[in-house]
Structure 1
Amino acid sequence: MRITGRDGVVFELRPVEWQFPAGTGYWDDLWLIVEGRVDLGERSWSFRDPALTITNARWLAYWLRQAAAGQVAPIDAEDTGGHGRRGIIFSEPALSFTLLERRQGEATVRAHFYAEAAPPWLNAGGGASVGLDVDFVLDLDQLTRAADEWTRDLDELPPRQQP
């Protein structure tokens, strides 16, 4: 999945593989390793982490479609509960998404990158993990296309019996 904001900021996310072999256990059988890349123009970074379960990943596609269709209520940028942690939040806190605004034909989506998904320069001092919010102003069609791309990427994973 590739999202490009009107200002040229790019976010790419793709599922790479299952974290554990099939049949490892109920919870372990759900985890995916994902790769992400963010290009802010002046700086960029990438990450590879078991940041999503398959359930989380499917929920992301659903959320993107719902946001494009006007079925997700925007959240005030000042009311994100600290660290951008309202919106669509997953089992691991490395990624989250918030719909900040939806106007005719476009939406502003905030992606929050935390812990393993955060830019390495944020934690260069070895202190507590911090995160970075990146806002994307997108055409609503781009949200739908991102959801479709993400769903295709998930469907290309080796099949696995889901518990």
Structure 2
Amino acid sequence: MALELRASHGHSLRLDIVGYQFPDGTVDSLNWLLIRFTVQVPGQEPWTKVDPSLETGELLSLARWFENMGTVDMRGPRPGYHFLEPNLSFSLVPVKGGKRRLRVHFDAESRPPWAPPRGQGAHSTAWVEFPLEEVDPKAMARWAHEEHARFPAREPPWD
């Protein structure tokens, strides 16, 4: 199952969880998941990358963030969700007219080849975004829950 987002202005994103980074498990990477990003922005070639970008437990936190992103107060700092690895993150950004957009950031090993040089601050300069009214937070949360069921946290065999 994939998470697919498309914006009327031409941005698209597909996230697939390929599997555990090390299917047999190791001490330091037992629960890291390989994520395939497929990204399209107008005027650029589609870009695909596979990278270990999040752990199994982070999927549940991401599901909760997706469930609540429509009700986040935009008066404070830019609300976002960041994983332990900086490759992928999500944020909500205000736009004119009191609307908001979901922005998906790519950084570190997951920066696309067309991205401008990395900027300063907490968020990457490589991103795609989607008007909040064009995404379904409940479906996004369902995807994260279903993927967590497919790839649950694994306990070390030596416990």
Tell whether the structures are fold-level matches, with TM greater than 0.5: yes
Matching residue of 1:7: 9
Matched letter for residue 31 of structure 2: L
TM-score by length of 1: 0.74
Q: Give SS of 1:120's match.
A: coil
Q: Structure 2: which 5+ residue stretches go unaligned?
A: none
Alignment correspondent of 2:85: 92
Summarize deviations over 1:71-107 as a string: whole Å, max 9, x none: x33377xx66xxxxx621111101111111399xx74
Q: Deviations over 1:33-91 (max 9, x none)?
A: 010111113212111000111122222121111113x1x33377xx66xxxxx621111
| TM-score (norm: length of structure 2) | 0.75
2:32 aligns with 31
Query: What is the identity percentage for the equivalent residue pairs of Structure 1 and Structure 2?
Result: 28
Q: Equivalent of 1:143, from 125, 137, 143?
A: 137
Q: Alignment partner of 2:147: what SS?
A: helix
Q: How many residues align?
A: 148
Give 1:4-153 correspondences, 5 Å limit: 4-25=6-27, 27-43=28-44, 44-68=46-70, 70=71, 72-74=72-74, 87-101=80-94, 107-122=100-115, 131-139=125-133, 142-153=136-147
Across the aligned residues of Structure 1 and Structure 2, the Cα RMSD in angstroms comes to 3.1
The answer on whether the counterparts of 1:115 and 1:131 sit within 8 Å (CA) in structure 2 is no
Provide, for residues 6-33 of structure 1, a one-character-per-residue CA deviation record: whole Å limited to 9, x for no partner. Answer: 32311111111101234522x4112000
The 3-state SS of whatever aligns with 2:85 is: coil
- Answer whether contact 1:119 1:132 (CA < 8 A) is retained: yes
Contact 2:57-2:153 within 8 A present in 1 as well: no
